[in-house]
Structure 1
Amino acid sequence: MSGYPIQPSGHVSASARRSGPGEKEAQLAAPPRRADAQLNRERILRAARELVREPGELKLNAVAKACGIGQGTLYRHFPTREDLLAEVYRHEVDELIAAAPELLARHEPLDALAAWFDRVAAYARIKRDVFAAVEAGTSRDLAAHSLGPIGDAVESLLIAGRAAGTVRPDAEARDVIVLISWLSRLDDTELDARGPRLLSILVDGLRATRD
């Protein structure tokens, strides 16, 4: 047998006739390259997440240096500074949303909600720093697209708490989002000092009262 892919008619495909051994080897090597690209992307996002908290404007060359990659590699993933910052924020939102079901799987609903609020504090820092560094239109778009998914994550935690009888029945996801949105307005010193207490007060406020 020739080893070429066969069309349903039994004829060798034109693309297969053109493919030589070198091309087959290149095709087999493609998945590792994609894995490397994904790894580079993750490294870039981690570095940018840390560097965005430092004073001054985030520099793409500083991100590339922190990752140990060339600037060309970075620009292939993120052509502009705003592209990178927007993805840092989206990545943070994705992790925050994913944390809700993971915490519910390991904890009682009210404890899961409290643990999720701890994660919200980290998200608030990123939101504050990214939104301060991007254009106003970009920050509005990011906020608009993240509000619904974050609201759904909050609602899943509240539903579980209401079902368990530990969260007050009138609590709404919008209430929680309005309250936690203030965290992103605090600087690091105030967030460290007040954040845990504010979130603890919020958990107590959501707790179902006993008759």
Structure 2
Amino acid sequence: MASRPSSELKDDTPPGAKTLRADARRNRDKLIEVAAQAFANHGTAASLEDIARRAGVGVGTLYRHFPTREHLVEVVYRHEVEVLCNAAEELSRERAPDQALEEWMHRFVGYIATKRGMADSLRILLNSNSELFADSYGMVPIALRGLIERAVADGSIRADVDSTDVLHALSGTYSMPNSPEWHDRSRRLVRLLMDGLRWGAPKALKPQGA
């Protein structure tokens, strides 16, 4: 998963459930963070025992928070979508519009890497918990559209950009062959897309010093 600033994990404890102690909340958040990285790097081969060890807790603690692998995958998936969408707002505040868009696209690749690693469990969840995908559907396209609209208004990318086309191009990384070169190929795709988005943009056409 691509590196990114830490983000406070959403409290998704079910309504009416007992509030977690501070140390239990920290353990849970660490497990989610480590699991996301493990799924991105190792996919279905990611060991729950290894995730617990790397999070600094016993495997019993992992199973108290996440009784099944699918439960852990669901929470990680929700968190990854939330972090990716929040990043659009954060980057928009901190960077020039085209730079914010490019960095967000790299983070999208990290999100896809984690999603690929959870593919088998997500297919199970698709059949048993369609609400999971209904809740997150549309959030990512909205985040990308906002970034593109800002960059178009700034003149740093071309004006004839359709955010849906960009999202389809980025999402193609999901079905690329699983190989050691996957991350490098995905990063090159982002650079290629950004070159195309910047080509012919008003700022690119403006003479230097004008």
**Is the TM-score greater than 0.5?**
yes
Partner SS for 1:92: helix
| In 1: Cα distance, 2:157 partner to 2:62 partner | 45
Structure 1 residue 49 displacement after superposition: 2.0
Unmatched runs of 5 consecutive residues or more in structure 1: 1-29
Structure with greater Cα Rg: 1
Match of 1:205 in 2: 196
| Residue of structure 1 aligned with 2:166, choices 151, 172, 176 | 176
Match of 1:104 in 2: 92
Match of 1:95 in 2: 83
TM-score normalised over the length of structure 2: 0.74
Q: Equivalences for 1:9-28 in 2 at 5 Å?
A: none
- Tell which deviates more after alignment, 99-108 or 166-175: 166-175
Structure 1 residue 76 displacement after superposition: 2.7
Give 2:61's aligned amino acid: T
| In 2: Cα distance, 1:189 partner to 1:120 partner | 18
- Quote the RMSD (CA, aligned, Å): 2.5
Aligned-residue identity in percent: 36
TM-score normalised over the length of structure 1: 0.74
Match of 1:191 in 2: 182
| Residue of structure 1 aligned with 2:31, choices 44, 47, 53 | 44
User: Which has the larger share of helix?
Assistant: 1
Give 1:184's aligned amino acid: Y
Structure 1 residue 165 displacement after superposition: 1.8
Unmatched runs of 5 consecutive residues or more in structure 2: 1-17, 206-210
Provide, for residues 113-167 of structure 1, a one-character-per-residue CA deviation record: whole Å limited to 9, x for no partner: 1111111121111011111x31524257455543411011101101111211223
Q: 1:55 to 1:191 in 2, by over 3 A?
A: closer
- Structure number with the bigger relative contact order (C-alpha 8 A, sep ≥ 6) is 2
Structure 1 residue 107 displacement after superposition: 1.2
Q: Equivalences for 1:18-167 in 2 at 5 Å?
A: 34-52=21-39, 53-54=41-42, 57-131=45-119, 133-134=120-121, 136-139=123-126, 141=130, 142-167=132-157
Give 1:106's aligned amino acid: E
